[in-house]
Chains A and B, each alone.
Chain A
Amino acid sequence: MLTLQCPYCGVWAEETELHAEGEAHLKRFGPGSDDADFESYLFMRENPKGVHLERWRHASGCGKFFHAARSTTTLEVFGTYAAQTLEPPQDIKDKISAKIPNWSWREFS
Chain B
Amino acid sequence: MSEAVSALNGASFEGFAKVEETGLRGMITVRGDLTSKEMAAAVKTATGAAVPVQRKVAVGGSGVVAWMSPDELLVVVDYDQAEATVVQMNEVLSGVHALVANVSDARAVFRLSGDGSRDVLAKLAPVDFAQDAFGSGGIRRSRIAQVPAAVWGNDDGSFEIICFRSVAQYVFDVLKISAQSGGEVGFH
Contact = CB atoms under 8 A, between A and B. Distances in A.
Interface stretch (B43-51, B99-107, B136-144): B136-144
Contact of B55 (A11, A14, A17, A60): A11
Interface of A: 8-11, 13-14, 16-17, 59-64
A9 B126 contact: no
B54 A60 contact: no
Given A11-B55, A59-B148, A63-B69, 5 more contacts: A9-B69, A11-B140, A16-B143, A17-B143, A62-B69
A9 B55 CA distance: 7
Contacts of B70: 8-9, 62, 64
Contact of A60 (B68, B69, B72, B143): B143
Chain B interface, >50% SS class? strand
Interface residues of B, number: 12
Interface pairs A-B: 9 shortest CB-CB? A62-B69, A60-B143, A61-B141, A14-B126, A60-B148, A8-B70, A60-B142, A17-B126, A16-B126
A16 to B, nearest CB: 6
A35 B50 CA distance: 53
Interface in B125-161: 126, 140-143, 148
A45 B69 CA distance: 31
7 contacts: A11-B55, A11-B140, A14-B126, A17-B126, A59-B148, A60-B142, A60-B143
Contact of B69 (A16, A17, A64): A64
A17 B54 contact: no
B146 to A, nearest CB: 10
A17 B150 CA distance: 12
A105 to B, nearest CB: 27
Interface string B46-90: 000000001100000000000011101000000000000000000
Contacts of A9: 54-55, 69-70, 141
Contact of A10 (B55, B126, B141, B148): B55
Nearest to B149: A60
Given A14-B126, A17-B126, A61 B54 contact: no
B126 A62 contact: no
B52 to A, nearest CB: 12
Nearest to B70: A8
Contacts of A16: 126, 143
Contacts of A59: 148
A62 B69 CA distance: 5
A15 B126 CA distance: 9
A98 B126 CA distance: 31
